[in-house]
Chains A and B, each alone.
Chain A
Amino acid sequence: MSRKTISLIVMLALVFLTLGNVIAQETTVVTWAFWGSPEELATHQSVADAFMEENPEIEIEIWHQPWSDYFTGLQTLWAAGDGEAIPDVMFLSPISNYAADGVLEPLDSYIEDSGFDREDFWPGLLDFAMLDGEVYGFPRDIGLEVLYYNKDIFDEVGLDYPDETWTWDTLLDAAEQLSVVEASGRVSRYALGMEGGKYQLWVGQNHGSALDDMASPTSCTLNSPEAVEAVEFFAGMMDNDLAMRNAALSQAGGDAAVFTSGQVAMIIQNASRIPTFNAADMNYDVAVVPIPEGGQRSASAAGAAWTMSSFSDDKDAAWTFLSWLALNPEGGQRLYTESGEILPALRSTANSDAFLGQEGSPENRMAFIIEGDNAKVGRAGLFPQWNEINGTLIGPQLQLIWAGEAGVQETLDSICADVDEFLAGMD
């Protein structure tokens, strides 16, 4: 090789390097924050890759923490107030707290400009990410519950599989046959494993609610006859060894663990458990949750949402990514759905083959669609103090009921007295 060629190569290399630098500087970096297990990280990474392929001018940088550290980490960044370090697009829940503190960008004008049809979200779902009528985020999925049942156990007992016709009474009849109490008194199998915290599903089905208005409450309605009846139904199943007590369920490792091990025949939970049960090669299916006579389906329209930081230094780029992630049926929504972990927030994606056409269990995916079409907003309060009310006043006292140590009516009366006092002292 002559000297000339070498110097030519060196020169070209330099030119390309400089060019590369210039091009690199023109790509915008959007920092994207979410929590999740290492397995979930792979899905998120593939979503980021797919987006960058379509939008080479935007580079996605991932900020990822396990769930237990995620919120503390974000709060530290906000407290420090360094716009560079705060992620541009964040996965958050609940939204109202953060929106009230001004760390989230209001999105109404962006939605107007994009011409997106809000009706494509499940009914009530977008309200979960709103504060005072303004949208602050787009739920990724809807965490509504269905009834998972172990087909092997149903076959063993000789019961028909649950379907839309099931009422609370049908559920009780089945539960009595599914639970196994040994001669010693030990319960070797419960019919139902359901987190105590999901009690509002029964309350909602029976036309009750926790507060008179879940966004701007004035009083507690948990001691209304509808709510009392619903809590009595749930507590009664625990007292009669049909449903696992709440503390026992969490000590046994949660509903997925006891369902997989056959300690319970049914659980009531959202779509997130599907990959676990499929990986365990379980023989199971899902059905809609049984409702009382004259009751209504009352799935919770709620789900963690993608939000935009109000500190973002390039909001256009952030919006490009956010809208691709949340509003584009062929974008993030489709990829997450295909990963099999979620019931998508967009009805068009849920009704497409991305969700309905998935291989493997559960077979009856329409159960999710039926619950989704009837979803109701507001199982969690849509105001900042809800965490505290629920965490110190409602939750601990309800645990007395789940532990079988207190009566339903007087406990709910006591809860409502405390909550009413708290609400009266608010702002």
Chain B
Amino acid sequence: MATQPTELANKPKSTSNWRDSDWKYRLGIGNWNPNQQSEAYIFLLLSLLGFVIFVVFPIVYSFWLSFQEWNLLSPPEFTGISNYTQLLTNDDTFRRVLKNTLFYAATIPPIQLALGLLMAVALNTGIKGLGIYRVIYFMPVVTNIIAAAMIFQFLLDKNAGLIPSWVWQFNEATGIRVIPPDFLGSTFWAKPSVVLLTVWKNVGFTMVIYLAGLQGVPEVLYDAAKVDGASNWQRFRHITIPMVSSTTFFLLVIQMIGAFQLFAEPFVMTRGGPAQASLSIVYYIYQNAFEFQKMGKASAIAWVLFAIIFAITFIQIRLQKRWVHYEVEG
């Protein structure tokens, strides 16, 4: 049987009588009992079980499902890779949603990063009422998406909305007839409108992370640059941007993933329309699964999406050496 170091282990370290204490104890030997592993596993079991049931199993199951045809009601039927081939070769809608999603991925993260950094830098100048600004800009992040989308619908509505109303007022005042864009009702403007809502909703989060990143930029660098006669822009370009590049990298990765998984914004604001102009990949997964009862196809799309996100994240991680600086002072 294993040794029982309990008595020794319980002995306070500060005891004056060092000679009484066991050398093993002082060297840290025997404090760890290999038999305690079983208890550790029991403690782990609960969360491990949750992980297996709610994460591992669904992932494996969806992979298996992507090779089946299943409408939830009758038993799944094996169809080989036909879900994938049909998706990649003969599905106009999938091509359209892929294009839409690439548009989201190409616009939302860059705009959010640029805007978030600008706001963070502005707020980092030590202006009065910093806390209030931070709250204001962060508010949309915790705003309910449905409420936010409804407000944007109100803002953008062609005839009754606030923003087009400025155009109408301009027309009235000048006698010129400019027709404001139909932001949510035209295939051209639907995607930018969704981007607008998404950026508005999430830029506060980007700003807060950047603010934290900026706190870590040592003041001495700016001071040194100032002494060397660097302008504001030069200091921003050559100190701020490189020094927060690790923050930028983190934000870029998660925002890119987020953009590929965009769902709620087009779902509540445009229903993916008009004419699927704002439909995203995840929305299309939802449609296939719960509107057309094609669980197999929905799973296949999910795995294609996984492959895309994996590839893009992988490339980002490989490229980070070229532009991300991790060196910290000292």
Contacts and interface: CB of A to CB of B under 8 A. Distances in A.
Interface of A: 71-72, 75-76, 78-79, 97-98, 101-103, 182-188, 245-248, 250-252, 263, 387-388, 391-392, 396-397, 399-400, 402-403, 405, 418
Contacts of A75: 72-73, 290, 293
B185 A248 contact: yes
Interface string B171-213: 1100001010010111100000000000000000000000000
Contacts of B38: none
Contacts of A103: 73
Contact of A400 (B72, B184, B274): B274
Most chain A CB within 10 A, of B271, B273, B275, is at B275
25 contacts: A75-B290, A78-B72, A79-B72, A101-B73, A101-B74, A102-B74, A182-B172, A184-B177, A185-B168, A186-B165, A186-B171, A247-B182, A247-B185, A247-B270, A248-B185, A250-B271, A251-B156, A387-B291, A396-B275, A396-B276, A397-B275, A399-B273, A400-B274, A403-B186, A403-B275
B73 A182 contact: no
B265 to A, nearest CB: 14
| Residue of B187, B271, B273, B290 most packed against chain A (CB within 10 A) | B273
Contacts of A418: 92
Given A102-B74, A246-B274, 15 more contacts: A75-B293, A103-B73, A185-B171, A185-B179, A186-B168, A247-B182, A248-B157, A248-B158, A251-B156, A251-B185, A263-B159, A391-B291, A391-B292, A399-B273, A403-B186
Task: Provide the main secondary structure of the chain B interface.
Answer: loop
A71 B74 CA distance: 16
A193 to B, nearest CB: 12
Contacts of A400: 187, 274-275
A245 B157 CA distance: 11
B153 interface: yes
Contact of A403 (B168, B187, B290): B187
Contacts of B158: 248
A397 B292 CA distance: 18
> Most B CB atoms within 10 A — which of A72, A246, A400?
A400
B71 A247 contact: no
Pick from A98, A184, A248 the residue with the most CB of B within 10 Å. Answer: A184
Contacts of B93: 392, 396
Best-surrounded residue of A252, A263, A397 (most CB of chain B within 10 A): A252
Given A263-B160, A396-B273, A405 B187 contact: yes
A102 B72 CA distance: 12
A263 B158 CA distance: 13
Contacts of A399: 273-276
A245 B185 contact: yes
B157 A183 contact: no
A253 to B, nearest CB: 9
B151 to A, nearest CB: 12
Given A187-B159, A247-B274, A391 B287 contact: yes
Contact of B182 (A102, A245, A252): A245
Nearest to A250: B271
Contact of B73 (A102, A187, A246, A263): A102
B273 A388 contact: no
B293 A97 contact: yes
Nearest to A188: B159
Contacts of B270: 247
B169 interface: yes
Interface residues of B, number: 37
A252 B160 contact: yes
A247 B290 contact: no
B169 A184 contact: yes
Contacts of B184: 247-248, 251
B77 to A, nearest CB: 13
A257 B52 CA distance: 47
Interface string B259-278: 00000000000110111100
Contacts of B171: 183-186
A263 B185 CA distance: 17
SS class of chain A's interface: helix, strand, loop or mixed?
Answer: helix
Nearest to A405: B187
Nearest to B185: A247
Residue among A182, A248, A392 with most chain B CB within 10 A: A392
A182 B168 contact: yes
Nearest 6 Cβ contacts at the A-B interface: A247-B185, A184-B171, A101-B73, A399-B274, A399-B275, A186-B168
Contacts of B275: 396-397, 399-400, 403, 405
A187 B168 CA distance: 10
B179 A101 contact: no
Interface in B74-122: 74, 92-93
Contacts of A76: 72
A392 B292 CA distance: 10
A400 B184 CA distance: 13
Contacts of B292: 387-388, 391-392
Contacts of B165: 186
A319 B176 CA distance: 68
A205 B36 CA distance: 80
A403 B72 contact: no
Contacts of A392: 93, 287, 292
A205 to B, nearest CB: 25
A183 B174 CA distance: 11
Contacts of B177: 184-185
Q: Which among B171, B185, B273, B276 has the greatest number of chain A C-beta atoms within 10 A?
A: B185
Nearest to A385: B292
Contact of A186 (B159, B291, B293): B159
Interface string B196-237: 000000000000000000000000000000000000000000
Contacts of A72: 290
Interface string B145-163: 0000000010011111000
A184 B172 contact: yes
A411 B129 CA distance: 56
Nearest to A102: B74
Nearest to A196: B274
For B172, B274, B276, B293, the residue with the greatest tally of chain A CB atoms inside 10 Å of its CB is B274
B71 A403 contact: no
A245 B74 CA distance: 40
Given A78-B73, A247-B273, A248-B159, A403 B185 contact: yes
A3 B294 CA distance: 71
Contacts of A79: 72-73
Nearest to B154: A251
A68 B74 CA distance: 22
A251 B270 CA distance: 8
A263 B157 CA distance: 13
B73 A252 contact: no
B261 to A, nearest CB: 20
